[in-house]
Structure 1
Amino acid sequence: MRTALSIIVPAFNEAARIGPTLTALQAALPSIVPAWEIRVVDDGSTDDTGAVVEAAAAAAGDTRIVLQREPHRGKGGAVRAGMLASRGDLRFLCDADLSMPVTELPRFLAQVPATCDIAIGSREGEGARRVGEPGLRHAMGRVFNTLVRRLVLQGIEDTQCGFKMFTGAAADAVFSRITLDGWAFDIETLVVAQRLGLRVVEMPIEWHYRDRSQVSPVRDSLLMARDVLRIRARAARGRYDVPRDRAATEARSR
């Protein structure tokens, strides 16, 4: 049976949160899509993330929960590995903390591929709802997005939301080209998608802030700013350029 939907969950030291996320996804998916898999990409965790995933799959007797172990490279590296290993007709990037209610998922399925190749969750714009986010964190995010829009990627209000759906063909075309392993991989993903001529839409969602002790706002913001400059330099050198006729054929009929 073909897999209609692959859900890719990058996870680094998420032993405390990955169990409830898997439980929520398992409960919801049967009524949403007929054939699915959940692929947890363990990004070289040093805690029991992998063991929790294996235990959840064994307890449910469900082979559709897949653990993919990878060396630690960063979220971008984990997402890239998971997307390219998946065979779903549609592929959904899902943060391990499930900060978006799973009830939002059918809205993505209604858009891809009917109206677009890629639908990205957005915490900005009309209809979006942020719950519990500290004001300073939101302000820092808006400053960063302004930098992104001015330097490399116009027209996208929220590049960093961890919920994005791709057609299988779009995922293969995009993730075979991105190289960044860190947090800025989302930006490179969308830059490549634009250069490929793919249709990208933003989906306003409800999003709940979860404290992420792994994230250092100052350090990671500086690293992301550095990577934005790398993307800009690569774009200026034509690293992301693909002839439009070839790009459209490759990304939509692969």
Structure 2
Amino acid sequence: MPVYRQEKNVVRYLRALGKVLAGLNVVYEMICVVDGQVDNTYENAKKAKIPKLKVFTYPKNQGKGNAVRFGMSRARGEVIGFVDGGFDLKYSSIPLALEHMKWYNADIMIGSKRHPASKVTYPWQRRILSWGYQMGVRLLFGINVRDSQVGIKFFKRKVVKEIMPKLLIKAFAFDIEMLAVANRMGFSRIYEFPIELKLEFGTSSIASIGFFKTSWNMLWDTLAVFYRLKIRCHYDK
């Protein structure tokens, strides 16, 4: 779980996630990565004393993508995933995601707002931009998914091991970089699972730096991934 400036809420997020994982009847670990020591998020997470939790941080904020890679590179399981901190996205979808991963023998499972069984509430501004962005993703990368941007994904360990050394994006569009590189390397069994999401405009961490500025940065980073993937063939090296 990557978190940033969540000193008041991080313990609640981690306890809620821990409760879901504890009910899975599997061996698991939790890793929380605090993206920069800018408040008391790290200290509060460390004090929480939640079973099987490891908490990491580093001095400066580097972006969500960096936090996700930092945590996943330290995970030891055969299935490695990440989930956003916060209660916009319900953690109750995790058991179904892991079941689907076995059923489909998936390389990657991704949460999807557009899965027919998903229960989603989010503003029209985001709906329009999300739809347009996803059309662009399918056109640029040829990945046959309906939604690549929900903050919950699971990967086989071998996928993580292969793609991690090649990834570059630290902040925006890191999700699509992970999926595009994995697909390029032959890990094409990418499936979607239903989620429950209730997102209010202006309430997420994205809004703290400006929603439309974030959208522009996302587009720029996505084009950078396309350039490295299709033109420079950087990820093939």
Report whether the alignment pairs 1:237 with 2:232.
yes
Aligned to 1:218: 212
**Number of residue pairs the alignment of both structures matches:** 229
Question: How far, CA to CA, are the matches of 1:31 and 1:77 in structure 2?
Answer: 29
Q: Percent identity?
A: 28
Question: What SS class does the counterpart of residue 219 from structure 2 fall into?
Answer: helix
Question: How far, CA to CA, are the matches of 1:155 and 1:26 in structure 2?
Answer: 32
> What RMSD in Å do the two structures reach over aligned CA positions?
1.7
Q: Write the mapping of 1:1-254 to structure 2, written as runs, cut at 5 A.
A: 9-57=1-49, 60=50, 62=51, 64-70=52-58, 71-115=60-104, 116-131=106-121, 133-198=122-187, 199-209=189-199, 211-212=203-204, 213-235=207-229, 236-241=231-236
Give the CA deviation at 1:153. 4.0
Question: How far, CA to CA, are the matches of 1:14 and 1:234 in structure 2?
Answer: 34
Question: How far, CA to CA, are the matches of 1:33 and 1:117 in structure 2?
Answer: 22
Alignment check: 8 A CA contact 1:29 1:36 kept:
yes
Give the CA deviation at 1:102. 2.3
Question: What SS class does the counterpart of residue 230 from structure 1 fall into?
Answer: helix
Question: How far, CA to CA, are the matches of 1:217 and 1:162 in structure 2?
Answer: 16
Q: When the two structures are superposed, what TM-score results if normalisation uses the length of structure 1?
A: 0.84
Question: How far, CA to CA, are the matches of 1:181 and 1:167 in structure 2?
Answer: 21
Give the CA deviation at 1:82. 0.8
Question: How far, CA to CA, are the matches of 1:147 and 1:34 in structure 2?
Answer: 38
Structure 1 residues without counterparts, runs of 5 or longer: 1-8, 243-254
- The letter of the residue matching 1:205 is I
Give the CA deviation at 1:208. 2.0
Question: What SS class does the counterpart of residue 39 from structure 1 fall into?
Answer: strand
Question: How far, CA to CA, are the matches of 2:114 and 2:37 in structure 1?
Answer: 31
Give the CA deviation at 1:114. 4.3
Give the CA deviation at 1:191. 0.3
**Structure 1 residues 108 and 15 mapped into 2: Cα distance closer, same or farther (>3 Å)?**
same
Alignment check: 8 A CA contact 1:113 1:167 kept:
no
